[in-house]
Structures are given as structure tokens and as C-alpha cells.
Amino acid sequence: MTDYIIEAKGLTKRYGKKLALNNFNLQIPFGGIHALIGANGAGKSTLFRILLGFESPTVGETAVLGMNSEQLSPEMRGRLGYVNEEHSLPTWMTAGEVTKMQRNLYPNWNQKVYEAVLGNFDVEPTQKVAELSRGERAGLNLSMALAQSPELLILDEPTLGLDVVAKQAFLEALMHTETETNTTIIYCSHQMEEIERVAENLIIIENGRVIYTASPDDFCERISYWICDFDEGVPELSSIPGILSLKKIEQQYHLMTVDQQAEEFKEYLLSVGAENPVQAPVNLDKAINSVLAKNHKSPTELV
């Protein structure tokens, strides 16, 4: 288990009757920014907690940096950064005190990175953490996490609740660091414009399983968006090949499909009575939404 920075094998996590992860398998190579995408309750946070050893899997095992997650040593934890959506920090301390504490704790502390990243935010060392805005707190947290020079940085919805400006600063800081330090970053977010901007690899999970892994471009290429009319009635949904969603908007039908050749699908549409079928461009947001919507009902079909 050393070829991948993260590896999960046959991971199942059950909370009473609820199945949070269901035979979850994942391999993430070293380097790059990997976006973990999924609806609420898909199992993303559970996966992170298991990866960091805060929870035990019901079945299966995970390894981070080649070490079993349940046996992560303090030294290994020093090589793993983790930023949660709350940006948990000691609110009673000043930014300077918190930074000093972290600096003493991490032997590979990179003050240059810290200052460069924090420079994107308006944080004074004398300010108490409790007095920082959510964006400033996120910035402080990210700068410390990156200054620790982690080999792997897990960001669990780090921009949740941030305003546009703070989000912008956060993403710029993140991209700057990834290129500078070669840290592998696992980025979890519901914000597709962020994902589109930073991620090199998408990992889409639904109902506790990985349903798709690809680069954003490859993923978008597999999704097609068609607009047409059906004067003689819409065909049976299940008979439409690769259908993800079908919506009627202003007397026109909008279809999202996966893994369909344009010419072949156009011929199919014409054969079932569609008039004027037109393929429209598809963006990542739309593509992911259609996949998640489809798999919300039958998650196993695309695997």
C-alpha cells in the first residue's frame, strides 16, 4: 500500500441501521489536488474521519502515506494536514499565540509559506481568534496547515460560509501552495466553481461508494446535453440510452446523458420522434448535478 497516498479497501461503515460507507474502494496517487464530491450524507466526512483514525471502519481498512489509519503515529500525523469546515482553533488565544504553538509543534514549519498564505488575509498576530471573521479564521487555519509542510492536506469544506472575497483569497492561497510545496491536497466542497478552478482529479461519491473518478475535462466530455421537441410523446425514460435526467422547460425537452456518441444519440433521438435535436455545451456544475441526481436513485448503474 505504498504507491498511493491514500488507499481504502472494501471500506464499510455502519451507524446502527445507516450505511455511511458501503464497500468503498479508493486509491489516490501522490501529488495534485483531488476533489471529493458528493451530496450531503454521501460519506465524505466519515471517510476523512476514518482516514485520520478518528473512527474505525466496520469492515475494511484504509492507509494514509502507507500506514494503517488506525495506527497513525504522532510522527505520521505531523505529515498530514487537516482543515475542517469549522476551522477549529483555540478561540481564546491570539493568532500569534496559536501560530507559535503550531510552529513549536511541527519541525518542518515553513515560515515563508505561512507568511505568503496569510498575506492574503487581514490577520494581525495580536488579534484573538474569536475576534477573527470566518474568512480570516479560515485563512489563518489554511496558512498554518500549509506551513506545516504536510505531504497530504485534507480540506473538508474549508470555504463553507466564506464570502466571495474570502473564498477568492483562500483558493489563491491554496493553488499557490500546491504548486510551491508539492503537497497532495484532498479538497472536499459543494462549490463547483471552486472545484473547477483547483481540482485536477474528481472523485464523486454517492451513498457511500465511489461512482466516478476522472479529471474535470474527461468527466465533462462523458456528459452530453441535448435539447429537442417530442411532438408525438416522450419515449419511456428507461429506454433512453445513458439518460441521467430529462426535464421539460418551455415546451422543450432537456436531456442529460452519459457515455453517448453525439451522432449515434442524435440518430436515436430522431428515431423516437424528436424534432430539431441540438447538443448544448455542458459545464462541470451541470454535469455533476445530473450525475448525482441520477445516482441518487440508482447509484450502482454507473459504476
**Contact residues for another protein, defined by CB under 8 A:** 14-16, 49, 52-56, 58, 70, 72, 74-75, 77-78, 80, 82, 84-86, 88-90, 92-93, 97, 100-101, 104-107
Query: Which is closer to another protein, CB of 129 or CB of 199?
Result: 129
> Residue 37: which H helix or E strand, with range?
strand 33-37
Using the minimum distance from each CB to another protein, give the nearer residue, 47 or 192: 47
Which has the closest alpha carbon to 2: 48, 80, 64? 64
| Distance, C-alpha 20 to centroid of its chain | 17
Name which of 62 and 295 has its Cβ closer to another protein. 62
Map residue 126 onto helix, strand or coil. coil
**Which residue, 3, 157, 151, 181, is CA-closest to 77?**
151
Q: State how far the alpha carbon of 258 is from the alpha carbons of 32, 48, 197, in Å.
A: 26, 29, 23
CB of 295: closest distance to another protein in angstroms?
25
Min dist. Cβ of residue 56 to another protein (A): 6
Nearer to another protein, 91 or 276 (CB): 91
Rounded to a whole number of angstroms, the minimum distance from the CB of residue 88 to another protein is 4
**Least distance between another protein and beta carbon 86 (Å):** 5
Q: 22-36 burial, b for 16+ CB within 10 Å, e for fewer?
A: bebebebeeebbbbb
Nearest distance in Å: CB 70, another protein: 7
Compute the CA torsion angle 214, 215, 217, 223 (nearest 10 deg). 20
Quick one: 37 or 98, whose CB is closer to another protein? Answer: 98
Nearer to another protein, 30 or 106 (CB): 106
Task: Choose among 162, 117, 120: nearest CA to 144.
Answer: 117
Least Å from the CB of residue 79 to another protein? 8
Minimal distance in Å, beta carbon 77 to another protein? Answer: 5
| HSE value, Cβ hemisphere, 13 Å, CA-based, for 4 | 16
DSSP string for 201-262 = EEEEEETTEEEEEE-HHHHHHHEEEEEEEETT-PPPGGGSTTEEEEEEETTEEEEEEES--H
**Residues 6+ away with beta carbon under 8 Å from 239:** 272
Nearer to another protein, 176 or 190 (CB): 190
